[in-house]
Structure 1
């Protein structure tokens, strides 16, 4: 894995946490700029711990999106630990957004989860999960894997209007919990946050 953070003390601390984990987690490289993840030896790391305060804070969305689009598994580790920022990170492709108050145990767990393509819930993400029915969850996951609602309907043996109904119910439940998901990408982000689906399942 590779660590990208603008503060040398943070990089050193995270490296020590990962090395001290049992079993230990190998850190291939660390640096203060996103380019660390693209040059040897960091480019060979599947998991990137990305500090929201690396280099220029404004560059985080672009750096995160580029990493996620390339299939890199990103854990955002940031002083910006509010729920809105956490949701934004996941929407951009991060598997987890941790606040720096989360500490060693959560960071190690998040990195281990990311190494297998699974999401991990940080403290900045709201604890409440909507009570989706088994069928609502099934329709959601199938929709994420499909190109159209018609294909979902065909695979599950239901009508497209029924697919729409299940998706709308899920959106309403997320909105009721203060976690709106108006688009497919936003709904996918919520599902990843809640562990309904992992990137390796899509």
Structure 2
């Protein structure tokens, strides 16, 4: 079954390029809506695309922050991938903290956008090389102390599509997996670095050296 996507970008050439990349993708990715305004991301309930590809510079009203746009989409339950010219790690982490599934710069190219789209549709995190490299180079001093078991659960969760797969690999229950992940998130919140989503938690873990990019 094809993955469906809405693309929001203010450059027609970018829109055309993304359509062409998705047309050649495997598994199939179908663009069901595209435009230069955030309005094209809003459809009738039940008709939403699986993933929204969002440029951060599409608001018609310059007083509206990209944070408000991202938060509105995420709060509506949309799976958002930010695809932007901005390469700021602060902007990337802000978007991840707001709940996006992925953050890519337009310099990353088609392979990474396609891979990130597939990952988002499958509820998996995806971290492109440029952003991963920046995070590895910028270790954070406020690193929570995780137990060996918590680190093991965390790494496997990043590698798997579901908590059930982690539970099967470790011979524990999904409830126990969830308890470990809740405890990890609490530890991050306690040091002032909340990570509510899987993508945000992955970014934190890479920053802190808790997982290695090669492990993923």
SS at match of 2:118: helix
Cα distance in 2, alignment partners of residues 36 and 124 from structure 1:
28
2:95 matched to which residue of 1? Answer: 89
Q: Which runs of 4+ in 1 moved over 3 A?
A: 40-43, 55-59, 129-134, 136-141, 183-190, 192-196
CA contact (8 A) 1:113 1:120 kept: yes
Q: Normalized against structure 1, the TM-score is what?
A: 0.68
Cα distance in 2, alignment partners of residues 14 and 42 from structure 1:
24
What is the CA-CA distance between 1:44 and the residue it aligns to?
Answer: 2.0
1:146-172 deviations in whole A, cap 9, x for unaligned?
A: xxxxxxxxx87xxxxxx69x965x689
Which runs of 5 or more residues in structure 1 are unaligned?
142-154, 157-162, 173-180, 197-202
Which runs of 5 or more residues in structure 2 are unaligned?
156-174, 177-182, 211-216
CA contact (8 A) 2:51 2:120 kept: yes
Q: How does 1:40-59 map onto structure 2 within 5 Å?
A: 43-56=47-60, 58-59=64-65
Q: How does 1:41-80 map onto structure 2 within 5 Å?
A: 43-56=47-60, 58-80=64-86
Q: How does 1:27-46 map onto structure 2 within 5 Å?
A: 27-39=31-43, 43-46=47-50
The count of residues paired between Structure 1 and Structure 2 equals 168
User: Quick one: structure 1 residues 121 and 42, their matched pair in 2 at CA, closer, same or farther if it must change by over 3 Å?
Assistant: farther
Q: Normalized against structure 2, the TM-score is what?
A: 0.64
RMSD between aligned alpha carbons? 3.7
1:99-143 deviations in whole A, cap 9, x for unaligned?
A: 0110100000000000011111032243428895533347989xx
CA contact (8 A) 2:10 2:57 kept: yes
